[in-house]
Amino acid sequence: MTSTVLITGAGIGIGRSTAKAFGKAGNHVVATDILEKEGHSVVAEIKAAGGSAEFHRLDVRSTEQADAVVAAVEKAHGAIDTIVANAGIAHKVPLPQLTDEKWDYTFDIDLKGIFRVVRPALPAMKAAKKGSVIAVSSIMGVAYGWDEHVHYSAAKAGVVGLVRGLAVELAREGIRVNGIAPGYIRTAQLLSKEHSLGPDADKAGEFIPMGRIGEPEDIADVILFLASNAARYMTGQTVVVDGGLLVGRY
């Protein structure tokens, strides 16, 4: 029986690679994003490769949209088997400019946005006595502070706490909840000169023990593992995937 996997932020970057990885593995992929063109194109790619996929527009800031998308998917396919809560932003904002509104905007997407998508899917998962949630955090949420990204670091640290709390509450229901904390990964976010390392991001490879920044596929494959039966006794963990960066900085 085909598993149904819902992925937020599936149009670009880690989300896109994750959608393609799940599609290649024989799952039915529900790609969601606010980027409609990119969302439709990843679905087309999955289908062209012989996989099964559909696109739904979803802004994770909207409880109404999250509830509606989950309801539509469940009506068509039954309980969702896996949720990959990947949608996120990382806007550089120096402390003097970090208003309540900018703080709340990041938290609404990067932290509350995860809960909004997971919450409506839980009743059907509980009834099925199975399910897996993988939430995307960051090395900036588990080990590093990031100057001019205080709100982002705080939200991504919150993801770790959310993973732990959900894992404990849902374990007896047969639902596993884990997180993943990527290091420097070649995405539009990392390559943004305005908000992150910019076009010179590859230079970060000089201080990463493996000698390179990561590719989105490096994260997608670990997410695929966390969702699989191979990780059946694993819950409440946030796995760092960073090429050795955290253990290699002395």
Which one-letter amino acid corresponds to residue 35?
L
Q: Copy the structure tokens of residue 173.
A: 């229901």
Write the burial class of residue 147 (CB in 10 Å: 0-12 exposed, 13-18 middle, 19+ buried). Answer: exposed
Q: Which of 105, 152, 233, 250 is catalytic?
A: 152
Give which of 98, 85, 199 is closest to 132, Cα–Cα: 85
184 is catalytic: no
E strands along the chain, which residues? 4-8, 28-33, 52-57, 82-85, 131-136, 175-182, 238-241
Q: Copy the structure tokens of residue 225.
A: 């593992």
Q: CA 103 → CA 80, 106, 108, 144, 197, distances in Å?
A: 31, 6, 9, 18, 21
Residue owning tokens 């003097």: 96
CA-based torsion, 139, 143, 147, 150: positive or negative: positive
Residue 115 CA to residue 102 CA, distance in Å, equals 20
Q: CA 67 → CA 24, 34, 209, distances in Å?
A: 27, 15, 43
* Enclosing H/E stretch for 105: helix 100-110
β-bridge partners, 214: 185
Query: Catalytic amino acids?
Result: 152
